[in-house]
Structure 1
């Protein structure tokens, strides 16, 4: 009781002194026990918590994964072991991709390790986690690699290591995913030492879904031996001078493993602040320490004919900044996908699946206030007479000159033809009704021929292509409005044979 009262007094005292309305709460007994709980990870929707628990296994202390889910009333279920990934050795310090289907974690004394503790990954297929694989020699060394943090799209990795070339005891390193080969092995870039590292130790990095805001713990910025939580923001590929987030979050105890929910309002971390084993705590994140706002785009990719779920790859590229590109792979069982995106952008979405025509469209989220956007994507099977609009084929006004912004769509057409050698298609041009009938007919023919010529120049056999102009004679909308005329000015792809 005295310990509880002293903790409450500290929180109130710190909040008053700092003028902040922050209440740090120990999570319920559904999460915390008399054992040690630490390294929390929160799902993108905020309703699944994965963490580590130190358990007794055959008389030895062992780190295992546990998870808990939150119901509609905000109550957390009693934590259960994540049996698919737990072994008789130590596993922990996990990180999840935004869609919850790609996990990187630390495994110690594993027969596939290069050192005592290495980083491994597992992919969730349907309801099952695949056997873990080592992340490879670029990431893992004979030293100690641990505490990974993935970017939301799974293409960047931050982790902790005492490998050669560091600045202190434990440092934070950064690497980018280069490729996944045909055997499913991941290839990563040579890790770089972050500029925020000190001569002491920096641990438990967490890169938020905005891919700019980094939270971590350090004992190298003060003279105290305990670990405090810091924040730093990415600017021009480097990180700003770290800022201590202060009391009542940081205390005279160790605070580690802070993670922040996707919408940037709530944080979770582990601490031994009550004088006993580590527990997991939560608090509302002050505005000064919040990440940039992100938007979540989620939904399913389905068969346009029977609405069955599809395994599909999805790419989103900013319409104004091509360096802003996100990738996702749908769940093969449900067709579900989830992407965390920079807020206030217009996106060019592309979805592709084997045996189906691709789907491209623009998604305008510039004025979207809500953090979540739900969108199902329908793909048409490759069948004779099936057609799609090539939404991202653009021409100069009243000309047949392809704009450079058309290249991504043209590449998708080329990829479709290369992946399906027996496929023959018609490329058709269409106009609105403004201008003379003769001019519109000639313009539509010239635009279809421009796409045809680009594909032939890229190595596609002319025998597999037909180009035809339909002028203004096949409208899909009214020509009485600007919006309708824009829809009528289009290029289509139709399957002739397959």
Structure 2
């Protein structure tokens, strides 16, 4: 993808045989033939290693042809001759591209000593902070794996893949007809092959059939509209002085059964501006592209242009400083969920171009994240395209270990299948029988609710009083059991802490069996039921905290059984006067009723009754324990509404 950083001057100087080697190299450099200039000035350095112009032009030629990692020795030699801000700054960028981060930071710090320009100082500090921030980058997709598509790649450049209508389109140096003098690499053309997802018919690769590839220039970075009717691609770097001076966007349209010959897009605006790496929005109404036009934030910025009434794209707008930096941003890729992927060497990363995503955080603010080291490398990583967003797709990289220059890679989500834990809960329904062990209660209706109070299961208990539910681990539920003639009862149930950690499991599926029992009380009219542990301070009717906790149980019974009306009664012992005990018990009963009303119970469902000492259980009580039996709070159902 090094061609994307390159422009070519309007004309090529015809070198005469009478020129000196130094003049020849200078002409090559000025005409954008960077690789030729490197070769020429390397000959000069063999005889004169200290030649300042030779070191300068080789360093700049590597930088301008996107090979800045090769320029460190030359910038260091220039610094030894005469240090300057630019020489230290570009040395820092070269060292950063080599992942020599501490040396790069030292070079950037030295650069600060040679300028007082606030913009340059800010840019240098940004480079230092970028190196520091890169150390804390986390993988955006921890389980995505990247694989070189070796069967698809060649020893030359292969990059910028996209998929449209079951074809993979990409840029490649195969079948090249000439050498691009700026880099010394073959010119590129557009190709396609049938594809289904990540599977590509590598035996059926053909040159782009929609329109002919041109000779003697680079054709690259293709975009196809969602409806398949518009092709936009980058074209440039021609050696002909009659051709356009810069890389520009061209479009071909499907008309009358075929595609038109490509035409120059108005969105380029100026033929001297570099425009490339196009991409359509998911609905095809917006065109994103990269450009070095004036007014941006750095070298190359990403812009967007909306579709006009005549079908062209216009009114290009810079995406702003959140995405664009003083460095280079290109290869945009918007996705249907509003995220925006792109390549950049200006945001904190691992060296040269890395892949990033811009997305909204919890507050709605747009933030940019590096995709991490399982996607990015110290080399150039760019041109992401999703075949199944976000689980799989393609991207391009010239990282070590590839087949050629730029290679096409595919990525897949290899997230391990989660270990499944099924919680099998056996709910047993029983009935309370006075003086006997609890007995099985069959045909009780048992209903299960999730943490959002949504019913997710229900059945009648069998002859053994059992109902079985399948629950999720680490979740909260409510179980309600009911049967005619019995108080309905709701009980909370949680599986938290009751299942093994999935990370410790070996089998894909593990079943955990748990049991719980719900005991129902018979609902009998006018039968008094003692509320245990309802205590009052001496001669007082206030509800104590411990009594409130017990009354909450009665509140729950009333909520579980909305069709009953009860009398709540209070009883005293016989150690004060009848009149005093009657008044005290009435106040206590009313206090208890008032508390339950405060907890949401309709007052019409409650009757407060104080009996004083008129209903002693143990007459002639002598001990404190016997008096306590007489001092009690009871309730009884006085009405069951149908």
TM range (shorter): 0.3 to 0.5
Higher strand share: 1
User: Which has more radius of gyration?
Assistant: 2
Please, what TM-score do these two structures have when normalized by structure 1?
Answer: 0.48
